Amino acid sequence: KVDELLGMIKDFGWTLGEALYHIFRNRDEHGQRIQRSEKHMKMASRFLGGRSNYMVAHILDSWMQSPYGLPKASHSERSAQYSPTKGYQELK
């Protein structure tokens, strides 16, 4: 199922990050609120509201445990990952 979903995302010409961005963004490039379909609204609401099998905390935990996103030990952003002063949006 995951490969099929990722294939569909690729067929749309999106990356996984772009798909997640479009699913969860609230405003368009002009600052206008996103108009969601009922299905989109219900699925996002259930997930963000903790009413699904896997909640936001599960996803964040998986991301934090993943070796794919951790910078090399010698990289300057490795120590900034948990920085109280550097904003998360500044990290790549």
Tens of pLDDT, residue by residue over 33-60, are: 999 999 999 999 999 999 999 999 999 8
Q: Report the predicted TM-score, pTM, of the whole model to 2 decimal places.
A: 0.71
CA distance 66 to 88: 17
In terms of pLDDT, which residue wins out, 58 or 63? 58
Give the chain's domain count. Answer: 1
User: Whose structure tokens read 């990289």?
Assistant: 75
Tens of pLDDT, residue by residue over 64-84, are: 788 777 667 777 766 666 665
Residue 47: per-residue pLDDT = 94
For residue 54, what are the domain limits?
A: 2-90
Both tokens of residue 49? 């509201």
pLDDT band at 61 (very low <50, low <70, confident <90, very high): confident
